[in-house]
Structure 1
Amino acid sequence: MKKTILAIAIPALFASAANAAVIYDKDGTSFDVYGRVQANYYGEHDDADGELVGSSRLGWSGKVALNDTWSGIAKTEWQVSAENSDNKFNSRHIYVGLDGSQYGKIIFGQTDTAFYDALEATDIFNEWGDVGNFYDGRQEGQIIYSNSFGGFSGKLSYQTNDDVAVKVTDVGQGVKEDEVFGPDVKRNYGFAAAAGYDFDFGLGLDAGYSTSELENKTTNDKGNKDEWAVGAHYAINGFYFAGMYTQGKIDNDNTGWDGKGRGYELAASYNVDAWTFLAGYNFTEAKNNTTSTSYEDQVDETLLGVQYNFTSKFKAYTEYKIQGIDDRDDEWTVALQYNF
């Protein structure tokens, strides 16, 4: 689902993009800067020791008209950690491309794959959520084409060779690639596709598929990770509801080892004046034929949240994560966030 539709349903959650500072906008050329600064206090149930953590995010986007139809576009966005944190700058989106209006958009670089379009509708929390799936996260080296017509939207993405597949997520949040392929795994290529349709009365439907070829650089064992997802969302009178179901699988063609997972996410929000109330549930289960023969729960989380917007640029929120797996503690956070 498109962020513009989400912003209508739950406007308080996307303040930073909406409040981007326009540095230059003239004769078809524009340049915007945006970002946020926030401080979170994190705690766990029955644990008196909490932690106050600061973080910030900074990005810019540019556009220049080439003719009446085509424009050159670019975007960068970084997550900036606090002084004593590791990985001070983490790149989120870095791409350049062409916007052809009715002919669609094509970009080159690092961002979310097309598969994320099938997951986006349930990704509405400030802090947690979005873990009832097996998505690899933002990837570098991509070529992405997207277009929309009426209520239809579609996207295709292709990822070139990535010598270190560091962002490949575990199927089921617990079935490791090294259990299937051994250590030192690279991605030879990746492909994803997504399609959606938004009805005029607030209902939207989404579906996506992703596949990538993985290879152990030492043994040359090869195989694939495949996943698919379907979802729906509905917005009416300040209420928003979304659900998603997905399955994923990793196969090693040389050894016959594999890992399988399935999961789903539910999310809801209600927005009234400056207040937004959120609730959600994430669940995944997984198995691999090297250590288990039956599915085991990997994620079982109930999420609750409240957000208050002092202005369009400044907000406070609190979220609570209730763990359904016995050996994991409940978690909570309280935060202040400034957007520009």
Structure 2
Amino acid sequence: MKKTILAIAIPALFASAANAATIYDKDGTTFDVNGRIEANYFGEHDDVDAELKGESRLGWAGKIALNNTWSGIATAEWQVSSENSGDYKTDDFQARHLYAGFDGSQYGKIIFGQTDTAYFNNLIEKTDIFNEWGSEANAYGGRQEGQIIYMGKWGGFFANASYQTNDDNAELSFGSDGNGDTVKLGSKLDKGYATSLGYDFDFGLGLAAGYAKSDFVKSTTGVKSDKEDWAIAASYAINGFYFAGLYNESQVTRGNDEADYKGYELVASYNVDAWTFLTGYNFAKIDDATIGTNILSGDVADYTYLGVQYAFTSKLKAYTEYKIVGLDKVDDEWTVALQYNF
């Protein structure tokens, strides 16, 4: 399974890490540099004003041996877009991963800082195989800062756990307003917990499950909100084929108000020589609910994905992806891109 996943470069972070250049390696100390540069031509169905955008990533990773078992580790990665691309300022880097910690070999890793939560690792990421889209039918909130994370793996069994401290910049967002825009519920993170566990069999089958809970508080009123997530996932890899499925449910509670979210994701890919073909489907909905003044209901995701990528070398690839949108008032999207990793 790992071989297939690396072949199709998921997630994008690990594509960069796989191409890392070792700058220093001596006496148990290593220092690697990695990154990527990408030119992306975006458009919508029947859109004559498609736009060419650029972005780049730059990161490094260090490791120093403390004894025969434990090592100190640190990782950093930033993203910056070209002048008129995305939401980034031209003179600012946006941090993706920033953490330091310890690698205890068979005892696992413990890290401190910003990265994906335990709910994402080995679970949500199973269906996150596309370059541009995908993984849109779950309520996972993305990378978080202020975390303490443990990751352990023993043979085929793995277990992850994370705790997140207070973060005034992490806002509770949930569902969609029907136009493809996320609904922000105006509360800041008080604390969060997450866990995932599973087993990867030698014959290519992988199973995983996870749970996450986040506590939020509205700074202006002190009203508290809770968000709970759980998911199960399975994957199977054989002879260049990769299949994965994910089912998840989430719930937001604020006083007597409650909103329930349900979604599933199905993906498949086939890798042959330098070519990789990808397809997938994401669907999610929220039952009719009201949180404060926000009315949440209807389909959140209804997307079909098609993609093809070609690897000129292990460092340079071209890809195109098409996103068929089944939601009202939202157009289909497409992209053609060239990506260089180092």
* Counterpart residue type for residue 30 of structure 1: T
CA–CA separation in structure 1 for the residues paired with 2:2 and 2:286: 30
* Counterpart residue type for residue 222 of structure 1: K
CA–CA separation in structure 2 for the residues paired with 1:90 and 1:7: 30
Partner of 1:176: 183
CA–CA separation in structure 2 for the residues paired with 1:316 and 1:294: 39
CA–CA separation in structure 2 for the residues paired with 1:289 and 1:9: 38
Look up the SS of the partner of 1:42 in the other structure: strand
Look up the SS of the partner of 1:8 in the other structure: helix
User: Over residues 162-182 of structure 1, what are the superposed CA-to-partner deviations in whole Å (9 max), with x where a residue is unaligned?
Assistant: 12323x43246767342xxxx
**What TM-score comes out, normalization by structure 1 length?**
0.92
Partner of 1:18: 18
Partner of 1:220: 222
CA–CA separation in structure 1 for the residues paired with 2:309 and 2:182: 34
CA–CA separation in structure 2 for the residues paired with 1:39 and 1:176: 30
Look up the SS of the partner of 1:115 in the other structure: coil
CA–CA separation in structure 2 for the residues paired with 1:195 and 1:148: 10
- The 3 A distance-change label for structure 1 pair 225 and 15 is closer
Long gaps (5+) in structure 1: none
Look up the SS of the partner of 2:167 in the other structure: coil
Q: Work out whether residues 63 and 73 of structure 2, in 8 Å CA contact, stay in contact via their aligned partners in 1.
A: yes
Partner of 1:101: 105
1:249 aligns with 2:245: no
Partner of 1:272: 272
Shift of 1:83: 2.0
C-alpha RMSD over aligned residues? 1.8
Runs of 4+ in 1 over 4 A off after TM superposition: 172-175, 291-295
Between structures 1 and 2, the one with greater strand share: 2
CA–CA separation in structure 1 for the residues paired with 2:330 and 2:296: 21
Partner of 1:141: 146
* Counterpart residue type for residue 277 of structure 1: F
Look up the SS of the partner of 1:334 in the other structure: strand
Look up the SS of the partner of 2:230 in the other structure: strand
CA–CA separation in structure 2 for the residues paired with 1:264 and 1:337: 29
Shift of 1:6: 4.0
Partner of 1:28: 28
Shift of 1:9: 3.8
1:320 aligns with 2:322: yes
Shift of 1:104: 1.0
**What TM-score comes out, normalization by structure 2 length?**
0.92
Shift of 1:12: 3.7
CA–CA separation in structure 2 for the residues paired with 1:138 and 1:292: 25
Long gaps (5+) in structure 2: none
User: Over residues 83-113 of structure 1, what are the superposed CA-to-partner deviations in whole Å (9 max), with x where a residue is unaligned?
Assistant: 2344242111000000111111100000000
Partner of 1:239: 241
Q: Work out whether residues 4 and 241 of structure 2, in 8 Å CA contact, stay in contact via their aligned partners in 1.
A: no
CA–CA separation in structure 2 for the residues paired with 1:332 and 1:303: 10
1:152 aligns with 2:157: yes
Shift of 1:34: 0.2
Aligned length: 328
1:8 aligns with 2:24: no
Q: Work out whether residues 287 and 293 of structure 1, in 8 Å CA contact, stay in contact via their aligned partners in 2.
A: no
Q: Work out whether residues 61 and 74 of structure 2, in 8 Å CA contact, stay in contact via their aligned partners in 1.
A: yes
CA–CA separation in structure 1 for the residues paired with 2:116 and 2:294: 32
Look up the SS of the partner of 1:67 in the other structure: coil
Q: Work out whether residues 137 and 169 of structure 1, in 8 Å CA contact, stay in contact via their aligned partners in 2.
A: no
